[in-house]
Structure 1
Amino acid sequence: MTQPTGTSVHPNSDLPDGWASRPAVSSDVASMTALRRKYEEQIRGWASASEAQIAVAVDDSGRVRREHLVIFDAAGQLRGWCEAHDRAPGRVVILIVVDPDLTAETAEVVGDVLVQFARGMAVAMATDNDVAKTQLDVDVYSADKRQTRWLTLAGLRCVRTWWHMSRPVRPDESASDRPPRDGVQIRAVGRGEDGMPDVGDLRSIHGVLEEAFSDHFNSHEETFEAFVSRLREDPNHHWDHWWIAEINDGAAPRPAGALVGSVIPGPDPAEDTPAAGTYIEYIGVLRSARGHGVATSLIDTVIADAAQRDRKEVALEVDADSPTGAQGLYESLGFVTKYTTESWQLYLDSAV
């Protein structure tokens, strides 16, 4: 995990002697991935980050703006990095990775430099977006007490806890034994002969999710174009993991719910190994359709699809304080919490 040749670093007076920082470049991706996986293994117990995911994030050719800072020690070894993601006007999502082998004292110095970078980028992005105030939003593993200490010292506060849940998938679940309730139907998005999805279906899913999450914690409006572009950039995204729930009560079927999934890579993302599971990125039900078993039918559908693909698990994330009590539904369907993360936030004024 050493500094690539041909790149320049900039000394930072806040770092130990000989250490330096600079913006990340594509040749850093392998080292950034290795450090992220090392961090995940020590904090969570297993690694999932892939070079493909981090390469997309570092590449600046997409619609989604992300900025990165990397920190090297005196020997040129990567010791920490930060991503600032311009997630929505008025919200910047931050990822901080620090080498878990560093001493507590050195790790705190590196963490502070990365937090200050995140603050500066949040203000810059808010200014560019012409908004007066922005939210700095850091997602951190609950078990990472070092990082939560740095965030506390920087003025951030823990505002939410998230349960990361999963359930095993059995081969005999390839066909659900619980059909949707009368009047409810689940279908995959329409696809053309070229394999591309029906735009009308995508707009229906976007509309359902925007309305379904409008009463949820930290909901920010996102345009259809930004929503689709952001998901398409994920290397684990596939159009055949999008489903629509419709209610047919005598008139034409109308959208009632939606589920967007992605692939959980195999144990070694660097190898072409079969997918390990399916991840539920989004599941939402319109308030007017709640109480009709729509969410249950959507989850049954994705479990059956995972079984048909010979996958071993289905996973998702849920707000521990969900206003819909979704965690109770997931537990009733066999999901258990594997680990938790926390949202740490701070509001900053821009230069507008």
Structure 2
Amino acid sequence: MNDTTDVAAPAADTDSHVEARTGTAAEHPDLAPIAERAAAPAVLDPPPADLGLTWRPLAVEDASALTELVQVVEEADGQPFRTSTEEIQEELAADWRDLTRDTLVGLDAQGTMRAWAQVDSAPGDTRVVRAFVSGGVHPLWRGRGIGRAVVAWLQGRARQVLAASGKDVPGRIAAYLEDTAPASARVYRAAGFTPIRYYTEMRRSLRDPLPEVPLVEGIRVVPWSDELDDAVRLAHNESFADHWGSEPRTPEQWQGHRAMFAPTWSFVAVTDDGEVAGYATSGRYEHDWEVAGYSSGYTELLGVRRAWRGRGVAVALLATVMRAYAADGVDYAELGVDTANPSGAHGLYARLGYEVVHSSTMYSVEL
């Protein structure tokens, strides 16, 4: 589980109509063109050969070998999860990815992967154009300057991606770093990244009494279905338009993060006339359970459209989700939240019995 849950709980009171908040050059008259602000290098070389590795782009066929390396790094850094081959394969196969230009893997003399780097820019960005960077170095190959070289390459490629976007809106190069790995944070800080947002992972025991599912007038909570899926996407885009760091998701992006999707643990709040008022989608990360020491259901997305906030829709969805997890015999309900979420989501979860168990930080270069 590498992504923090998106949460739009019921109390937010800023405008959430996505069409009214799209970023255009006219809305940012004081900004120079993104190509100028990005200051992208004309030529970007891989890390130097004297670091002991040879470099090439990643391919979808590398998913299994990359998973082995990623999991070694996660274990060394004390992370309470493991990334699966299915998740990595899905990332590498995304239609909008240019693996030839946006990825690198460093190989030792025996051809074993020892370091990697990836840049990903979401195609749906309209208000802030973002380039997300990630990578890592095998623990036996640390202390040689490889990490610094990887981050330098990541930042250079991210600047090229942003410059080429043609989106003359604020820009961001962002890295999500687990707080269990302070050495990684030091490398990014040295490269000019600064902490900009803080996230927590929370869990709630399903052995404790579960909250009642409140009745919300005019609303039914129904199982997720293919027929409702795109309406849920549009409701998500609307619900999160007023949340820091959130951008509209295209249909391709929406479908591109389904490796661990659990449809039987996902629910939609619909109105009497069939409109989507809110939603809760879940992931089933069974490969994390041994590392964590318990089984869990993970609430990936929770959102309520502005017109339906303040009526208990979020509680109805979460309570329904908890019951679905418990019915399948898992131990905990989990989710992640932005600690500065404007909707008061952190407090809502605490009232429902969720407790903080882990944290991460977004480091960024703002352009």
Q: TM-score range by the shorter chain?
A: 0.7 to 0.9
**What do residues 163-197 of structure 1 show as CA deviations (whole Å, max 9, x unaligned)?**
01122323986xx643333443211234xxxxxx1
Mapping of 1:68-107 within 5 angstroms? 68-88=103-123, 89=125, 90-103=129-142, 105-106=143-144
Runs of 4+ in 1 over 6 A off after TM superposition: none
Q: Distance in 1 between matches of 2:321 and 2:302?
A: 11
Counterpart code for 1:71: G
Mapping of 1:198-217 within 5 angstroms? 198=227, 201-217=228-244
> Normalized per residue, which structure has more strand?
1
In 2 relative to 1, CA 151–285 (structure 1 residues): closer, same or farther, beyond 3 Å?
A: same
The Cα of 1:301 is off from its aligned counterpart by 0.9
Aligned to 2:139, the other structure's residue is in SS state coil
Alignment partner, residue 193 of structure 1: none
Q: Distance in 2 between matches of 1:323 and 1:69?
A: 37
State whether residues 47 and 146 of structure 2, in contact with CA within 8 Å, keep that contact through their aligned partners in structure 1.
no
Mapping of 1:135-174 within 5 angstroms? 135-170=172-207
State whether residues 60 and 92 of structure 2, in contact with CA within 8 Å, keep that contact through their aligned partners in structure 1.
yes
Mapping of 1:121-270 within 5 angstroms? 121-132=157-168, 134-170=171-207, 177-190=212-225, 197-198=226-227, 201-223=228-250, 225-231=251-257, 234-248=258-272, 252=273, 254-267=275-288
State whether residues 198 and 362 of structure 2, in contact with CA within 8 Å, keep that contact through their aligned partners in structure 1.
yes
Q: Percent identity?
A: 22
In 2 relative to 1, CA 247–29 (structure 1 residues): closer, same or farther, beyond 3 Å?
A: closer
Aligned to 1:87, the other structure's residue is in SS state coil
State whether residues 289 and 296 of structure 2, in contact with CA within 8 Å, keep that contact through their aligned partners in structure 1.
no
State whether residues 84 and 287 of structure 2, in contact with CA within 8 Å, keep that contact through their aligned partners in structure 1.
no
Q: Distance in 1 between matches of 2:330 and 2:134?
A: 29
In 2 relative to 1, CA 13–279 (structure 1 residues): closer, same or farther, beyond 3 Å?
A: closer
TM-score norm. by structure 2 comes to 0.76
State whether residues 284 and 296 of structure 2, in contact with CA within 8 Å, keep that contact through their aligned partners in structure 1.
yes
Alignment partner, residue 42 of structure 2: none
- 2:310 corresponds, among 278, 283, 291, to 291
Q: Distance in 2 between matches of 1:268 and 1:276?
A: 5
Alignment partner, residue 6 of structure 1: none
Alignment partner, residue 309 of structure 1: 328
State whether residues 119 and 157 of structure 2, in contact with CA within 8 Å, keep that contact through their aligned partners in structure 1.
yes
Q: Distance in 2 between matches of 1:46 and 1:322?
A: 23
The Cα of 1:125 is off from its aligned counterpart by 2.8
Alignment partner, residue 51 of structure 1: 85
The Cα of 1:254 is off from its aligned counterpart by 3.9
Counterpart code for 2:114: R
Q: Distance in 1 between matches of 2:60 and 2:238?
A: 37
In 2 relative to 1, CA 13–299 (structure 1 residues): closer, same or farther, beyond 3 Å?
A: closer
State whether residues 74 and 81 of structure 2, in contact with CA within 8 Å, keep that contact through their aligned partners in structure 1.
yes
Q: Distance in 1 between matches of 2:110 and 2:275?
A: 61
The Cα of 1:76 is off from its aligned counterpart by 3.8
State whether residues 206 and 227 of structure 1, in contact with CA within 8 Å, keep that contact through their aligned partners in structure 2.
no
Runs of 5+ in structure 2 lacking a partner?
Answer: 1-44
- 1:329 corresponds, among 333, 338, 348, to 348
Counterpart code for 1:188: P
Which structure ranks higher in relative contact order (CA pairs < 8 Å, sequence separation ≥ 6)?
2
Q: Distance in 1 between matches of 2:207 and 2:253?
A: 32
The Cα of 1:65 is off from its aligned counterpart by 5.1
The Cα of 1:27 is off from its aligned counterpart by 4.5
In 2 relative to 1, CA 177–229 (structure 1 residues): closer, same or farther, beyond 3 Å?
A: closer
Counterpart code for 1:242: S
The Cα of 1:64 is off from its aligned counterpart by 5.0
State whether residues 184 and 247 of structure 1, in contact with CA within 8 Å, keep that contact through their aligned partners in structure 2.
yes
Runs of 5+ in structure 1 lacking a partner?
Answer: 1-10, 191-196, 270-274
Please, which moves more after superposition, 23-32 or 209-218?
23-32
Q: Distance in 2 between matches of 1:65 and 1:301?
A: 39
Counterpart code for 1:95: S
Q: Distance in 2 between matches of 1:146 and 1:263?
A: 30
Alignment RMSD (CA, Å): 2.7
In 2 relative to 1, CA 92–335 (structure 1 residues): closer, same or farther, beyond 3 Å?
A: same
Q: Distance in 2 between matches of 1:162 and 1:148?
A: 15
